[in-house]
Chains A and B, each alone.
Chain A
Amino acid sequence: MRKLLTLTVLAMLTVLSTGCATMFGQDKQKVVYHINYNDEKQLNAALGNVKNHINAIGKDNIDVKVVMHGNGVDLLKTANTDLDMQQKVIGLKKDGVAFEVCNNTLVNKKINYKNDLFDVSEKDIVPSGVAEVATLQQKGYVYIKP
């Protein structure tokens, strides 16, 4: 009888541990960084925040999206010419960071993303940057405005 009970406990513990493993596996931290300014110091600081955030918890445990609209799009404009900024963007992309650009801004400011912005393709364009920030939060992304 006691043996049977012990076995049951062991079986339960196995189920439990696998359950835990799968749960923690899918529990990546999801974060949206919101950027709508073009002050270079601030931009550099923001990218530094993202990098530090990733370093702190490991790139495999985090899903970061940087959403830019309004003046914030200048980040990728600057990265076209400023090699330091460019390296930062490349590094973060390697860590899995997605840089999303607001289409409203592209239209309003007449920006051609292929020529004017650094490494932007169609999949990086969202219809509205502000709406994207809201939508991501609804999907469980934590909002950070550096």
Chain B
Amino acid sequence: MKQEKRFSDEFLNAFVDNQIAAEEKSQAFIEISQDEALNRQVCELRKLHDLVQLAYREPPAPPARITSGSISRHARLRFGVAASVLLTLGIVLGSLIHLPSPTTIPTVTIASEGSAQRAATSPKRVALPMAPSNTMVATAPTRESMAVSPVTSLLSAPTVTPVPVVAQKEISDSAQTKVLIHLARDDVEQLGQALDDIEGLLKHYRETRQNARLEVVVNGGGLELVRTDTSAFAGRIQRLQREYDNLTFAACQNTIDRLVREQGIIVRLLPGVITIDSGMAEIMRRQNQGWTYLQV
């Protein structure tokens, strides 16, 4: 069953380009998500597809062509003018959209240990760490009116900045950063380094006060990282989960099912690790939702 090629390249391309009927597509989706090689192929295609799309941003819509001969020349000419105006407008608008928007929503939240404040999507102005006590909440409003106040001494190093600088920083900070990290290999050394990278990234976002979310998707060999019986880093993963509430580990259900089916392994995951239907599908979904993809 594994050997025969169930889908032609043309079909897979059409699948990625969204050019097949919904029914056929959902059927194909199920079959593809059950086959890792196919899964990978689709992922590669999708990457390529995204790449091409990025390289050739959407061109302005061409004017609709009127083929009917019954329309008078005059009317055709007038239509031409209207179309040119529309096209020009489209291009001007397009290039305006192209320019970096100066009005990105400033979101600055500070994740402090143990506290469960998640990524607020509403714009926030004041960059203050979560108050460990009521006294700090009480003094907080005064900080806005004074450049140097007693509160600043309580803040960590990067926070001790005069008000104007803080304001500028908020603007340069983009909206929420969402990063998906994909681990698919079982090399212990590599997984250790991946955890170094993940921890470094979390630290970086905390230090630079960026409101970020990280999702680590494990599938294939990468699943060993989060299995109770194989993980070489169980303690470290738990510590990371405790320290950073913006970090999620997500395990691929397809891989889990395959282990049961092919090797009779009953998979038990480390506490706090969630499962997702398919690692590959998750990667595609997240990228469509604007997440950044990274393979470490």
> Among residues 99 to 135 in chain A, which have CB atoms less than 8 Å away from a CB atom of chain B?
104, 108, 127-128, 130-131, 133-134
Interface residues on chain A, size class? 35 or more
> Among residues 252 to 296 in chain B, which have CB atoms less than 8 Å away from a CB atom of chain A?
292-296
Interface contact A138-B197, CB-CB below 8 Å: no
**1/0 per position for B181-218, CB-CB distance to A under 8 A?**
00000000000010011101100110000000000000
Interface contact B205-A131, CB-CB below 8 Å: yes
Interface contact B197-A70, CB-CB below 8 Å: yes
Report the Cα distance A6→B294, complex, angstroms. Answer: 53
For A83, the chain B residues whose CB sits under 8 A away are: none
For A22, the chain B residues whose CB sits under 8 A away are: 95
Known A128-B201, A138-B174; judge A12-B88 contact (CB<8 A).
yes
Interface contact B204-A127, CB-CB below 8 Å: yes
For A70, the chain B residues whose CB sits under 8 A away are: 193, 196-197, 296
Report the Cα distance A56→B36, complex, angstroms. Answer: 31
Q: Which B residue's beta carbon lies closest to that of A131?
A: B204
Judge if B80 is at the interface, Cβ distance under 8 Å: yes
How many whole Å from A33's CB to the nearest CB in chain B?
12
Interface contact B296-A16, CB-CB below 8 Å: no
For B5, the chain A residues whose CB sits under 8 A away are: none
A34's partner among B51, B80, B295 (CB-CB below 8 A) is: B295
Known A13-B84, A36-B296; judge A69-B92 contact (CB<8 A).
no
Interface contact A26-B98, CB-CB below 8 Å: yes
How many whole Å from A137's CB to the nearest CB in chain B?
4
Judge if B1 is at the interface, Cβ distance under 8 Å: no
Known A23-B94, A26-B98, A130-B294; judge A138-B177 contact (CB<8 A).
yes
Interface contact A142-B50, CB-CB below 8 Å: yes
**1/0 per position for B167-181, CB-CB distance to A under 8 A?**
000000010010100
> Among residues 17 to 31 in chain A, which have CB atoms less than 8 Å away from a CB atom of chain B?
19-20, 22-23, 26-27, 29
Interface contact B98-A16, CB-CB below 8 Å: no
Judge if B20 is at the interface, Cβ distance under 8 Å: no
How many whole Å from B95's CB to the nearest CB in chain A?
5
**1/0 per position for B83-122, CB-CB distance to A under 8 A?**
0110110011011001000000000000000000000000
Interface centre among B54, B81, B196, B200 (most CB of A within 10 A): B200
Judge if B239 is at the interface, Cβ distance under 8 Å: no
Interface contact B51-A16, CB-CB below 8 Å: no
How many whole Å from B126's CB to the nearest CB in chain A?
24
Report the Cα distance A85→B296, complex, angstroms. Answer: 23
For A140, the chain B residues whose CB sits under 8 A away are: 54
Judge if B21 is at the interface, Cβ distance under 8 Å: no
Judge if B65 is at the interface, Cβ distance under 8 Å: no
For B177, the chain A residues whose CB sits under 8 A away are: 134, 138
How many whole Å from A8's CB to the nearest CB in chain B?
5
For A45, the chain B residues whose CB sits under 8 A away are: none
Interface contact B294-A143, CB-CB below 8 Å: yes
Judge if B66 is at the interface, Cβ distance under 8 Å: no
Report the Cα distance A138→B201, complex, angstroms. Answer: 15
**1/0 per position for A66-79, CB-CB distance to B under 8 A?**
00011100000000
Report the Cα distance A14→B193, complex, angstroms. Answer: 56
Known A70-B197, A104-B200; judge A16-B292 contact (CB<8 A).
no
For A26, the chain B residues whose CB sits under 8 A away are: 98
How many whole Å from A40's CB to the nearest CB in chain B?
17
Judge if B77 is at the interface, Cβ distance under 8 Å: yes
For A130, the chain B residues whose CB sits under 8 A away are: 197-198, 200-201, 204, 294, 296
Interface contact A15-B88, CB-CB below 8 Å: yes
Judge if B55 is at the interface, Cβ distance under 8 Å: yes
For A36, the chain B residues whose CB sits under 8 A away are: 193, 197, 296
For A41, the chain B residues whose CB sits under 8 A away are: none
For B50, the chain A residues whose CB sits under 8 A away are: 142
Give chain B's interface residues, CB within 8 Å of chain A.
50-51, 54-55, 57, 74, 77-78, 80-81, 84-85, 87-88, 91-92, 94-95, 98, 174, 177, 179, 193, 196-198, 200-201, 204-205, 292-296
Closest 6 CB pairs of A and B: A12-B84, A19-B91, A128-B204, A137-B292, A134-B292, A131-B204
